[in-house]
Amino acid sequence: MSSEWAIVRRVIKGADVVLEVLDVRDPLGTRSRALELMASRMGKPVVVVLNKSDLVPREVAEKWVKYFRRRGMRAVYISAAKRMGTRFLWKAIRDAADRGKEVVVVAVTGMPNVGKSTIINVLRGRHGAGTSPIPGFTKHATRMRAATWLRVIDTPGVIPRGSREDLALRGALRPEALEDPVVAAARLIGEIMGEAPSILEEKYGVRADDPYLFLEALAKRRGLLGKGGVARVDEAARIVLRDWQAGRLVFYRRPREG
Protein backbone atom coordinates (compact mmCIF):
# COMPACT_ATOMS: atom_id res chain seq x y z
CA MET A 1 0.00 0.00 0.00
CA SER A 2 1.39 3.42 -0.98
CA SER A 3 1.89 6.16 1.60
CA GLU A 4 -1.06 8.09 0.12
CA TRP A 5 -3.39 5.10 0.40
CA ALA A 6 -2.19 4.45 3.95
CA ILE A 7 -3.15 8.02 4.89
CA VAL A 8 -6.53 7.68 3.21
CA ARG A 9 -7.17 4.42 5.05
CA ARG A 10 -6.43 6.02 8.43
CA VAL A 11 -8.62 9.01 7.63
CA ILE A 12 -11.56 6.86 6.54
CA LYS A 13 -11.22 4.76 9.69
CA GLY A 14 -11.61 7.86 11.85
CA ALA A 15 -14.38 9.46 9.78
CA ASP A 16 -18.16 9.27 10.13
CA VAL A 17 -18.92 9.98 6.46
CA VAL A 18 -16.79 9.62 3.32
CA LEU A 19 -17.22 11.98 0.37
CA GLU A 20 -15.96 10.46 -2.86
CA VAL A 21 -15.46 13.39 -5.21
CA LEU A 22 -15.79 12.59 -8.92
CA ASP A 23 -15.44 14.70 -12.06
CA VAL A 24 -18.98 14.79 -13.49
CA ARG A 25 -17.51 14.89 -17.01
CA ASP A 26 -16.11 11.40 -16.46
CA PRO A 27 -17.54 9.84 -13.29
CA LEU A 28 -16.60 6.25 -14.08
CA GLY A 29 -13.08 7.23 -15.08
CA THR A 30 -12.52 9.14 -11.83
CA ARG A 31 -14.29 6.65 -9.61
CA SER A 32 -12.31 4.43 -7.23
CA ARG A 33 -13.99 1.13 -6.42
CA ALA A 34 -11.04 0.28 -4.16
CA LEU A 35 -11.81 3.36 -2.06
CA GLU A 36 -15.50 2.48 -1.94
CA LEU A 37 -14.70 -1.08 -0.89
CA MET A 38 -12.36 0.18 1.83
CA ALA A 39 -15.09 2.44 3.24
CA SER A 40 -17.69 -0.33 2.98
CA ARG A 41 -15.55 -2.80 4.92
CA MET A 42 -15.20 -0.23 7.70
CA GLY A 43 -18.94 0.42 7.74
CA LYS A 44 -18.55 4.04 6.62
CA PRO A 45 -21.30 5.62 4.50
CA VAL A 46 -20.11 7.04 1.16
CA VAL A 47 -21.60 10.07 -0.58
CA VAL A 48 -20.69 10.37 -4.25
CA VAL A 49 -20.12 14.06 -5.04
CA LEU A 50 -20.25 14.77 -8.78
CA ASN A 51 -18.23 17.97 -8.99
CA LYS A 52 -17.69 20.48 -11.83
CA SER A 53 -21.36 20.33 -12.83
CA ASP A 54 -21.06 23.77 -14.44
CA LEU A 55 -19.17 22.03 -17.25
CA VAL A 56 -22.05 19.76 -18.31
CA PRO A 57 -25.76 20.25 -19.05
CA ARG A 58 -27.98 19.85 -15.99
CA GLU A 59 -29.74 16.82 -17.45
CA VAL A 60 -26.42 15.01 -17.80
CA ALA A 61 -25.54 15.65 -14.15
CA GLU A 62 -29.00 14.48 -13.09
CA LYS A 63 -28.64 11.28 -15.10
CA TRP A 64 -25.35 10.51 -13.38
CA VAL A 65 -26.97 11.04 -9.98
CA LYS A 66 -29.70 8.56 -10.97
CA TYR A 67 -27.02 6.15 -12.25
CA PHE A 68 -25.40 5.94 -8.81
CA ARG A 69 -28.62 6.02 -6.81
CA ARG A 70 -29.98 3.08 -8.79
CA ARG A 71 -26.94 1.19 -7.58
CA GLY A 72 -27.81 1.90 -3.98
CA MET A 73 -25.36 4.79 -3.52
CA ARG A 74 -25.94 8.29 -2.17
CA ALA A 75 -25.10 10.88 -4.82
CA VAL A 76 -25.36 14.63 -5.43
CA TYR A 77 -24.01 16.95 -8.10
CA ILE A 78 -22.45 20.33 -7.42
CA SER A 79 -20.06 22.90 -8.81
CA ALA A 80 -17.78 23.81 -5.94
CA ALA A 81 -16.01 26.48 -8.01
CA LYS A 82 -19.32 28.19 -8.86
CA ARG A 83 -20.93 27.54 -5.45
CA MET A 84 -23.76 25.62 -7.12
CA GLY A 85 -25.67 22.83 -5.36
CA THR A 86 -23.82 23.16 -2.06
CA ARG A 87 -27.09 23.10 -0.10
CA PHE A 88 -27.69 19.57 -1.36
CA LEU A 89 -24.20 18.56 -0.30
CA TRP A 90 -24.81 19.76 3.28
CA LYS A 91 -28.08 17.83 3.33
CA ALA A 92 -26.43 14.67 1.98
CA ILE A 93 -23.81 14.81 4.73
CA ARG A 94 -26.49 15.27 7.39
CA ASP A 95 -28.57 12.39 6.01
CA ALA A 96 -25.58 10.04 5.86
CA ALA A 97 -24.30 10.83 9.35
CA ASP A 98 -25.39 9.20 12.58
CA ARG A 99 -28.12 11.46 13.97
CA GLY A 100 -26.80 10.97 17.46
CA LYS A 101 -23.38 12.47 16.70
CA GLU A 102 -22.82 16.00 17.98
CA VAL A 103 -19.75 16.45 15.80
CA VAL A 104 -19.54 14.74 12.41
CA VAL A 105 -16.15 14.04 10.81
CA VAL A 106 -16.14 13.91 7.01
CA ALA A 107 -13.30 12.51 4.91
CA VAL A 108 -13.03 14.18 1.51
CA THR A 109 -11.49 11.67 -0.89
CA GLY A 110 -10.95 11.17 -4.60
CA MET A 111 -8.42 11.27 -7.38
CA PRO A 112 -6.14 14.27 -7.93
CA ASN A 113 -7.67 17.29 -9.66
CA VAL A 114 -11.35 16.47 -9.04
CA GLY A 115 -11.80 19.49 -6.76
CA LYS A 116 -11.52 18.11 -3.22
CA SER A 117 -9.90 21.21 -1.72
CA THR A 118 -12.38 23.51 -3.44
CA ILE A 119 -15.25 21.53 -1.90
CA ILE A 120 -13.64 21.88 1.52
CA ASN A 121 -13.39 25.64 0.97
CA VAL A 122 -17.11 25.71 0.21
CA LEU A 123 -17.95 23.77 3.36
CA ARG A 124 -15.75 26.03 5.45
CA GLY A 125 -17.10 29.20 3.86
CA ARG A 126 -13.62 30.62 3.39
CA HIS A 127 -10.38 29.74 1.65
CA GLY A 128 -8.69 27.71 4.34
CA ALA A 129 -7.44 24.82 2.19
CA GLY A 130 -5.08 25.61 -0.65
CA THR A 131 -6.38 24.94 -4.15
CA SER A 132 -4.50 24.30 -7.36
CA PRO A 133 -5.35 22.90 -10.81
CA ILE A 134 -2.09 20.91 -10.73
CA PRO A 135 -2.83 17.23 -9.98
CA GLY A 136 -1.42 15.99 -6.69
CA PHE A 137 -1.40 19.37 -4.89
CA THR A 138 -2.61 17.98 -1.55
CA LYS A 139 0.11 15.76 -0.07
CA HIS A 140 -1.05 15.22 3.50
CA ALA A 141 -4.30 14.78 5.38
CA THR A 142 -5.48 18.03 6.98
CA ARG A 143 -8.33 18.32 9.48
CA MET A 144 -10.35 21.55 9.52
CA ARG A 145 -13.46 22.91 11.21
CA ALA A 146 -16.29 23.65 8.79
CA ALA A 147 -19.11 24.27 11.29
CA THR A 148 -19.85 23.76 14.98
CA TRP A 149 -21.05 20.25 14.14
CA LEU A 150 -18.77 19.44 11.19
CA ARG A 151 -15.08 18.66 10.77
CA VAL A 152 -13.62 17.91 7.34
CA ILE A 153 -10.40 16.12 6.48
CA ASP A 154 -8.66 16.64 3.15
CA THR A 155 -6.72 13.65 1.88
CA PRO A 156 -4.04 13.03 -0.74
CA GLY A 157 -5.37 12.19 -4.18
CA VAL A 158 -5.70 8.44 -4.59
CA ILE A 159 -3.89 7.23 -7.69
CA PRO A 160 -5.74 4.48 -9.58
CA ARG A 161 -4.10 1.67 -11.45
CA GLY A 162 -3.63 2.13 -15.16
CA SER A 163 -1.22 3.32 -17.81
CA ARG A 164 0.26 6.80 -17.64
CA GLU A 165 -1.99 7.74 -20.54
CA ASP A 166 -5.03 6.59 -18.53
CA LEU A 167 -3.93 8.70 -15.58
CA ALA A 168 -3.51 11.79 -17.74
CA LEU A 169 -7.00 11.34 -19.20
CA ARG A 170 -8.40 11.02 -15.67
CA GLY A 171 -6.63 14.21 -14.60
CA ALA A 172 -4.34 12.32 -12.22
CA LEU A 173 -1.11 13.01 -14.11
CA ARG A 174 0.16 16.23 -15.63
CA PRO A 175 0.65 16.20 -19.43
CA GLU A 176 4.24 17.38 -18.88
CA ALA A 177 4.94 14.11 -17.07
CA LEU A 178 4.17 12.08 -20.20
CA GLU A 179 7.12 11.13 -22.36
CA ASP A 180 4.75 10.84 -25.33
CA PRO A 181 1.53 12.82 -24.78
CA VAL A 182 0.32 12.15 -28.32
CA VAL A 183 -1.10 8.72 -27.45
CA ALA A 184 -3.32 10.06 -24.66
CA ALA A 185 -4.40 13.15 -26.61
CA ALA A 186 -5.23 11.06 -29.68
CA ARG A 187 -7.46 8.80 -27.58
CA LEU A 188 -9.35 11.80 -26.22
CA ILE A 189 -9.62 13.49 -29.61
CA GLY A 190 -10.81 10.26 -31.20
CA GLU A 191 -13.56 9.92 -28.63
CA ILE A 192 -14.64 13.54 -29.13
CA MET A 193 -14.66 13.06 -32.89
CA GLY A 194 -16.97 10.11 -32.46
CA GLU A 195 -19.36 11.92 -30.11
CA ALA A 196 -19.29 15.64 -30.89
CA PRO A 197 -16.65 16.63 -33.49
CA SER A 198 -17.86 20.23 -33.65
CA ILE A 199 -16.41 20.80 -30.16
CA LEU A 200 -12.87 20.58 -31.51
CA GLU A 201 -13.42 22.95 -34.42
CA GLU A 202 -15.18 25.49 -32.20
CA LYS A 203 -12.43 25.34 -29.59
CA TYR A 204 -9.34 25.25 -31.80
CA GLY A 205 -10.45 26.41 -35.25
CA VAL A 206 -9.11 23.19 -36.74
CA ARG A 207 -10.96 20.52 -38.69
CA ALA A 208 -9.64 17.01 -39.36
CA ASP A 209 -11.03 13.48 -39.56
CA ASP A 210 -8.09 11.81 -37.83
CA PRO A 211 -6.69 12.58 -34.35
CA TYR A 212 -3.08 12.69 -35.52
CA LEU A 213 -3.90 14.92 -38.48
CA PHE A 214 -5.82 17.14 -36.06
CA LEU A 215 -2.78 17.50 -33.80
CA GLU A 216 -0.57 18.27 -36.79
CA ALA A 217 -2.99 20.96 -37.98
CA LEU A 218 -3.27 22.41 -34.47
CA ALA A 219 0.51 22.60 -34.13
CA LYS A 220 0.78 24.47 -37.42
CA ARG A 221 -2.04 26.83 -36.50
CA ARG A 222 -0.34 27.67 -33.17
CA GLY A 223 3.08 28.03 -34.80
CA LEU A 224 4.50 25.04 -32.96
CA LEU A 225 7.16 24.10 -35.49
CA GLY A 226 10.49 22.37 -35.15
CA LYS A 227 13.46 22.19 -37.47
CA GLY A 228 12.51 22.25 -41.11
CA GLY A 229 9.02 23.41 -40.25
CA VAL A 230 7.99 20.04 -38.82
CA ALA A 231 4.82 20.30 -36.71
CA ARG A 232 5.43 19.74 -32.97
CA VAL A 233 2.50 17.38 -32.46
CA ASP A 234 3.73 16.58 -28.94
CA GLU A 235 3.24 20.20 -27.87
CA ALA A 236 -0.17 20.31 -29.53
CA ALA A 237 -1.09 17.15 -27.62
CA ARG A 238 -0.10 18.75 -24.31
CA ILE A 239 -2.28 21.76 -25.10
CA VAL A 240 -5.32 19.52 -25.63
CA LEU A 241 -4.64 17.52 -22.46
CA ARG A 242 -4.11 20.66 -20.37
CA ASP A 243 -7.36 22.14 -21.69
CA TRP A 244 -9.20 18.91 -20.88
CA GLN A 245 -7.85 18.73 -17.33
CA ALA A 246 -8.59 22.42 -16.66
CA GLY A 247 -12.14 22.27 -18.06
CA ARG A 248 -11.40 24.55 -21.00
CA LEU A 249 -12.14 21.74 -23.46
CA VAL A 250 -15.80 21.12 -22.74
CA PHE A 251 -16.49 17.45 -23.37
CA TYR A 252 -18.32 14.98 -21.16
CA ARG A 253 -19.46 11.39 -21.05
CA ARG A 254 -23.05 10.29 -20.58
CA PRO A 255 -24.18 7.25 -18.60
CA ARG A 256 -24.96 4.32 -20.84
CA GLU A 257 -28.15 3.67 -18.94
CA GLY A 258 -30.55 5.52 -16.65
Q: Quick check: 179 pLDDT over 50?
A: yes
| Mean pLDDT computed over every residue of the chain | 89
Residue 1 binned pLDDT confidence (cut-offs 50, 70, 90):
low
For residues 28 and 138, state if they share a domain.
yes
**Residue 25 near residue 252 (C-beta atoms within 8 A):** yes
Q: What is the tally of structural domains in the chain?
A: 2
pLDDT above 90 coverage of the chain, percent: 67
For residues 92 and 184, state if they share a domain.
no
**In this predicted structure, what is the pLDDT of residue 101?**
86
For residues 109 and 132, state if they share a domain.
yes
Flag whether 129 is in a domain: yes
Query: In this predicted model, what pLDDT tens digit does every residue of 72-81 receive, in sequence order?
Result: 999 999 999 8
Burial of 133 (0-12, 13-18, 19+ CB in 10 A): middle
For residues 142 and 199, state if they share a domain.
no
Residue 3 binned pLDDT confidence (cut-offs 50, 70, 90):
confident
For residues 15 and 135, state if they share a domain.
yes
For residues 20 and 145, state if they share a domain.
yes
For residues 120 and 101, state if they share a domain.
yes
| Residue 224: domain span | 164-246
The CATH number linked to 29 is 3.40.50.300
In whole angstroms, what separates CA 8 from the centre of its chain?
Answer: 17
Flag whether 43 is in a domain: yes
Flag whether 179 is in a domain: yes
Flag whether 223 is in a domain: yes
Query: In this predicted model, what pLDDT tens digit does every residue of 184-234 receive, in sequence order?
Result: 999 999 999 999 989 999 999 999 999 999 999 999 999 999 999 999 999
Flag whether 228 is in a domain: yes
Boundary residue ending a domain (154, 187, 213): 154
**In this predicted structure, what is the pLDDT of residue 135?**
54
Q: What is the DSSP string of 40-91?
A: HHTT--EEEEEE-GGGS-HHHHHHHHHHHHTTT-EEEE-BTTTTBSHHHHHH
Distance CA 148, CA 242 (A): 39
Boundary residue ending a domain (154, 184, 215): 154
**In this predicted structure, what is the pLDDT of residue 161?**
74
**In this predicted structure, what is the pLDDT of residue 134?**
47
